[in-house]
Structure 1
Amino acid sequence: MITENTTQPITSRRSFLLTATQVVLGLGLVSAPTIACAKAIKKRSLSFVHTRTQQELTLVYASGSAYDRRALTKINRFLRDYNTGQVHVIDPKLLDILWAVKGEMGNKGVYEIVSGFRSPKTNRLLRQGHSGVATKSLHMQGKAVDIRFSGASLAQVRQCALEMQCGGVGYYPRDGFVHLDSGQFRTW
């Protein structure tokens, strides 16, 4: 499935990601371009600020195909349920999606976390007040985050994630966030 544009010079990170994706998907190695491209990079880092707790976190969470267990533990704690304090394992694929989106945004900015992991209790509370909260939300599995990115508009983050087609992309401009998850590609 390598298309003609793969013979043209790679002039941007987006060109590289698209070309690498076409090559990798053509070989049938993976289903998500961020995973393939992320594992080719030596060190991957993320920076967060939590809008509810005001805590900040910056760390390297992976190097090549190896994830740093200590860093993942810190991320799990950081993205805990803001209501109950419950900690849950966060899907590393979700982190790779965040890392790839950050790269597309020029690596300049910090993720502002609106919601990370949500316990069933918190999810039920949110469902009572908002019609858009899913009964079986991927937030409850540690596979979703609601974010803003300080280096780009919500529309830019949404567009970037849509172009990558890795996981779910929900757009909530009135509420001031974009939902990203590591499930199947879908949009709303």
Structure 2
Amino acid sequence: MCEQCDDILGGHGHTRRRLVFGGAAAGALLLAPAAALAARPRALELYHTHTGEKLRVTYAEGNHHLPDALEEISRFLRDFRSGEAHPIDPGVLDILHRVQELTGGRGPYEIISAYRSPQTNQMLRNNSSGVAQRSLHMEGKAIDVRLRGVDTRQLREAALGLQAGGVGYYRDSDFVHVDTGRVRYW
């Protein structure tokens, strides 16, 4: 770095370089093909806010999702009101994994809502205007989360950057919705 630049930055050249290089690294991770990221084992740590249950699981190794782990995750992310389970789209899990890498989050994901039975979805629709009639939650293709230790605004920005599906930001309730539907945001 030039001496003049260091003077302008108030002697914080090293900090500036870390920000530039750190930003470049985050950008490279964001632009890296999913296949390259999938080459290593992928794991998630989950905490269900309604049931108090915890799960730490490796759900993929290499380019393969692990059927037994996916089944365990589907049971964990069941409709907690009815107990009904449904297969969870592995793409949702991959989004969570990539967002965690992008944000540097180390804590567990706090699950607000995952799979919803049609009956639960209708009940929620009857009580709130913010629940879609054909919610992707009913297909196991959506999840509402927080990531412990990461501000939900940062979580939202990382998810938006992936351009991997829908992203909703619920500031007042402090959670982010991600899904594997078409790319959109609210």
Structure 1 residue 156: deviation in Å? Answer: 0.8
Are positions 1:16 and 2:28 aligned together?
Answer: yes
Q: Deviations over 1:89-120 (max 9, x none)?
A: 00001100000001112141110000010000
Task: Give % identity.
Answer: 46
- Give unpaired runs (5+ residues) of structure 1: 1-8, 22-34
Structure 2 CA distance for partners of 1:114 and 1:10, relative to 1, 3 Å: closer
- SS of the aligned residue for 1:108 comes to coil
TM-score, normalising length: structure 2: 0.84
In 2: Cα distance, 1:69 partner to 1:131 partner: 36
- Deviation of 1:10 after TM superposition, in Å, equals 8.9
How far apart, CA to CA, are the structure 1 residues paired with 2:177 and 2:23?
29
Asked if structure 2 preserves the Cα contact closer than 8 Å seen for 1:51 and 1:114, the reply is: yes
Q: Supply the distance in 1 between the matched residues of 2:95 and 2:25 (Cα, whole angstroms).
A: 15
- The count of corresponding residues between Structure 1 and Structure 2 is 166
User: Aligned match of 1:46 in 10, 32, 44?
Assistant: 44
Q: Which runs of 5+ in 2 are unaligned?
A: 1-20
Corresponding residue to 2:65 among 53, 64, 67: 67
SS in 2 for 1:136: coil
* CA displacement, residues 15-34 of structure 1 (integer Å, 9 cap, x when unaligned): 3224434xxxxxxxxxxxxx
CA distance in 2, matches of 1:117, 1:159: 23
Residue 48 of structure 1 deviates from its aligned partner by 0.4
The one of 96, 99, 105 aligned to 1:98: 96
Q: 1:19 to 1:49 in 2, by over 3 A?
A: closer
TM-score by length of 1: 0.83
